[in-house]
Chain A
Amino acid sequence: MPELYLRLLNRILTPLLLLLAIYLLLRGHNLPGGGFIAGLMAAAAFELQILSRGHDRVRRSIGPYLNSGIGLGLAIAICSGFAGLLNGVFFKGLWFDLHLPLLGELAVGTPVIFDLGVFLVVVSVATSYLLGLSRISDSAAPIPDGASSLELSDSFESDPAVVADDSSLRSER
């Protein structure tokens, strides 16, 4: 259920988390960070969205792109390896010095592109896990009143509503 303070916090935290993710992604080649951690950070931002706005809305907005995200990320990561072939060996790094007007010199290379691929894979995989988990927790939610947490497993198996819900979930997939 969307909580008020969570929704307020969401407005501040989501952009911050995404910015932090991009920062971690870009510094990751030489310093702590990198595609994997940045991907988890961005997935945390999406999880915040799921918690505050409900998983249905998040699924509607980004759900269709998650599989493509995994594919795109893998393709980018592999293609950065193929770029190394130009330099003789698979996955050999290619580096360019970019002269940017304000930031000065910036070294851009294929490892950064590889990291971008990893980032996309991790964001997409982690977000689709989180969406899947939130749907399962929704379908398991109606526990009869007075059932303690110890009886949870029993009620889960015997409750026909839950079982029916589960089978509908399976066919929906």
Chain B
Amino acid sequence: MALSANLLAAPVAAPLLTAALILLVARWGGRTLIRHQVALTALALCLNLGIALTLFFGAAVQDRRFVLQFGNWTAPFGITAYADGLSATLLLLTAIVALAVYPFAVATIDYHRARMGFHPLYLFLLMGVNGAFLSGDLFNLYVFFEVLLMASFVLLTVGAQPAQTNSGIRYVVLNLLASTVFLVAAGVAYGTLGTLNMAQIAERLPLASEAVRTIFAGLLMVAFGSKAALFPLFFWLPASYHTPPPAVTALFGGLLTKVGIYTLFRSFTLFFPELLISWQPALLTIAGATMLVGALGALAQPGIRRVLSFHIISHVGFMLMGLAVALSGNSLAIGFGLGAAILYLCHHMIVKTALIMAGGAVELYMGSDRLASIGGLVTRQPLLAFLFFMAAISLAGVPPFSGFISKLSLLQITLDTRHWVVSGVSVFASLLTMINMMRLWRESFWDEYSRPSRVPSRLLQSTRRQWMMLVPVASLVLFSLGLGIFGEPAFRLSMQVAQNALDRDAYIEAVSPSALYSSDLRRGAFNATVPTSPGGNNLPSVMLDDLPSPAR
């Protein structure tokens, strides 16, 4: 058990150590050194995939919970890393997306950006995302949010094109605002509940007053909703995703908003499952508005990547819809909505990444991604046209791809729980997605061939680079096809993951933040006094913060 728990440190430690080695050994300049950087990064990504697979089989398939107390300092004092099926599923998908985008990135990132440290930054971003999925206390979640924000900010602006800097500033300002709200929420938790450990927060939150719970939930909703690009807070995403190199957009589109969605899933199921009932109208309204605004906004966009980034917003709405209906319905369907949302999340991460890469390839071949000025690529790049089409219909939800099964299950539970309006909105948004995808495909591939405005000659000359661009897209499309064909076992697995995520007592027990109190301290080995909490709520006297450190 000790060894497998230590495995939880690996998704953070492996990218970090590799990035450190790159900084140490293969420093910036020189093409040979950059080849070394690429080799090291690829090694780390494969290692990360292996670790994620191991964790996935342990946590999601075999249905176990992994807890690592760093340095053996028990829960409320030390740092906790926690993985159950939900975390492990997201870790696995993150590893797949990161590994799939990397060949595309190596083929398309220019020498200048590579010299500025693109490859270690890629690993730092991966480390931040992995850490956010694993962290078992609120403050470390914040820290990993900042790690991934900083890494993504540099990835967004490296190269220093004016448009990149412009969008980078908007991105970082809006995201820092969200982080500040999150920090305030953490402060509220610490001030009123006296802890930042997520299991302990879950344990104490039912004792807190109604006002504290509402404020805490609201602050977390704003912070995570902004990270996930939910309806009123999504402005940072379409402002920034179309300016960096396509590989960076593909990575961001696959990973960043999903961290926000994961934290929403985690916080609602762990901290306030009762709000999933009482806030349901609000959550469903936000979900519907997000779906609609994303899909309608995409309709008005002139460029491939702008359309796709608006669709990210639209699909985040689908996932929130699944979360909102997770606890409603009859007792047999508990967790059905969340399971469908998790399946949708998996489908979305895979397909969206493939689609952004395919769109990026179109952009690189045509020298522009403005739909008005491109077209006719089908004769020159038939394979790309085919893959783009497959990814597009998967996103729109056509069988036998994964989009169909995930949308069907979401729609089924929403109709079962009689939320007619939001399910109607979701069907409408899916229709708009279909229209948009067909528009993208027709404009890029079907029209008269228009001569590219500026051809990246290097790309068109090297067949190896072309394969490095197409093979990742093809493998992700195949993955989506597999997820669609083996939809039933996939759905069963995600149901199991969802029910585990909803089992908050098991989470608390696995981390067992109060084990210390229950053994020696409650028996008076400790001079316990009631803490003067500012919220004035009556916490039991055993819930103290200032306990001495446990034995090393």
Q: Give A contacts to B, CB under 8 Å.
A: 67-68, 70-75, 78-79, 81-82, 84-85, 88-93, 95, 170, 173
Residues of B within 8 A of A73 (CB): 20
Q: Measured between alpha carbons, how far is A89 from B24 in the docked complex, in Å?
A: 27
How distant is the Cα of A70 from the Cα of B5 in the complex, in angstroms?
A: 29
The answer to whether B24 touches A68, judged by C-beta atoms less than 8 angstroms apart, is yes
CB contacts (< 8 Å) of B28 on chain A: these are 67
- A-B contacts, 20 of them at CB < 8 A, read A67-B28, A68-B23, A72-B20, A73-B20, A74-B19, A74-B20, A74-B23, A75-B20, A78-B17, A78-B20, A88-B72, A89-B68, A89-B70, A89-B71, A90-B8, A90-B70, A91-B70, A92-B552, A93-B71, A93-B552
Q: Is the CB of B16 within 8 A of A74?
A: yes
**CA A9 to CA B98, docked complex, whole Å:** 51
Kindly identify which residue among A75, A85, A95 contacts B21, using a CB–CB cutoff of 8 Å: A75
User: Which chain A residues lie closer than 8 Å to B538 at the CB level?
Assistant: none
- Least Cβ–Cβ distance between A77 and chain B, in angstroms: 8
Which of B17, B20, B21, B22 has the most C-beta atoms of chain A within 10 angstroms of its own C-beta? Answer: B20
Q: How near does chain A come to B81, taking the closest CB pair, in angstroms?
A: 9
Pick the contact of B2: A75, A79, A88, A173 (CB < 8 A): A88
Partner of B9, one of A68, A71, A81: A81
For residue A70, which residues in chain B have a CB less than 8 angstroms away from its CB?
Answer: 20, 23
Residues of B with C-beta under 8 A to A75: 17, 20-21, 24
Neighbouring A residues of B21 by C-beta, 8 Å: 71, 75
The prevalent SS among residues of A at the interface is helix
Look across to chain B and name the residue whose beta carbon is closest to the beta carbon of A84.
B71
Interface status of B61 (Cβ within 8 A of chain A)? no
In the assembled complex, the CB of B65 is this many whole angstroms from the nearest CB of chain A, namely 17
* Residues of chain A contacted by B13 (CB below 8 angstroms): 78, 81-82, 90
Chain A residues in 8 Å Cβ range of B20: 70-75, 78
A152 to B405, CA, bound (A): 60
B160 A170 Cβ-Cβ under 8 A: yes
Is B169 located at the chain interface by the 8 A CB criterion? no
Judge whether B9 and A91 touch: CB under 8 Å.
Answer: yes
Cα distance A70–B2 when bound, in Å?
A: 31
A85 and B23 in contact, given A74-B16, A91-B70 (Cβ under 8 angstroms): no
Interface: B204 (CB within 8 A) = no
- Closest B residue to A94 using CB positions: B552
> Closest 8 A-B residue pairs measured CB to CB?
A71-B23, A71-B24, A74-B20, A75-B20, A90-B9, A91-B71, A89-B72, A91-B70
